Amino acid sequence: MTRIFDLLFSLITTIMFLPFGFVIGIIIRIDSQGAVLFRQKRVGQHGKLFYLIKFRTMKHDARGLSITSENDIRITNVGKFLRKWKLDELPQLINVIKGEMSFVGPRPEVPEYVQYYNQEQLKVLSVKSGITDIASINFRNESQLLVNSSNVQEHYINDILPIKLKLSLDYINHKSLLYDTVLIIRTLKVVIFN
């Protein structure tokens, strides 16, 4: 049932946002050099690796940490806007259509941070990753939480990641089509009203 919902909803949403995505792509190319889309290796259901697709929000030659704080100098001017309104996430509809992700589910993490999961936390990999979940709603301003950190990566691994994983595990224990619908509505409210 979830897969049918994901497929139908993602196809409809992709068609609706296609012209908008085309405009975003043009603006990204005008703002900075490089590809319009950004692909990053993530760990999905059952530990399977896949490439998460986003609109590129960083300079094309950006190197460094997989996480970013709000004042990260790698982020382009257009990238700041796209991140603020979560528009960089739109291409993940392709991941949903391909069956690599669901609309709702634990956010897929990069392999370098999955290695810090304990046995209990690894249970988040038992379900399909999602575009949104309770952790992404609660940590929608994660980059602001990291901005004053002396060690961004250490702060993320020790303080933020365990809370996100706890929320994701809680989601798995209460997972239902109704709960997923509630989380989609809450996500839209957060994005629209920022």
**Torsion angle of the four alpha carbons 78, 80, 85, 91, in this order, in degrees rounded to the nearest 10:** 60
Give the type of residue at 46: H
- If you average pLDDT over every residue of the chain, what do you get? 93
- What's the rounded mean pLDDT across residues 10-20? 92
Which stretch, 93-97, 151-155, 186-190, has highest mean pLDDT? 93-97
Is the pLDDT confidence value at 166 over 90? yes
pLDDT reported for residue 143 = 86
The Cα–Cα gap between 70 and 89 comes to 17
Per-residue pLDDT tens for 23-40?
999 999 999 999 999 999
Is the pLDDT confidence value at 180 over 70? yes
Q: Which three-class secondary structure state does DSSP give residue 24?
A: helix
Which of 139, 134, 137 has its CA nearest to residue 173? 134
Q: Please report which confidence band the pLDDT of residue 1 belongs to, taking 50, 70 and 90 as the band edges.
A: low
The Cα–Cα gap between 50 and 31 comes to 28
pLDDT reported for residue 107 = 96
The Cα–Cα gap between 189 and 121 comes to 28
Is the pLDDT confidence value at 140 over 70? yes
Q: Please report which confidence band the pLDDT of residue 64 belongs to, taking 50, 70 and 90 as the band edges.
A: confident
The Cα–Cα gap between 180 and 25 comes to 30
Which stretch, 2-11, 48-57, 58-67, has highest mean pLDDT? 48-57
Least confident of 61-75, 83-97, 108-122: 61-75
Which one has a higher pLDDT value, 141 or 43?
43
Per-residue pLDDT tens for 121-136?
999 999 999 999 999 9
pLDDT reported for residue 194 = 66
Residue 178 burial (CB count, 10 A) = 9
pLDDT reported for residue 154 = 94
Q: Which three-class secondary structure state does DSSP give residue 50?
A: strand
Q: Please report which confidence band the pLDDT of residue 108 belongs to, taking 50, 70 and 90 as the band edges.
A: very high
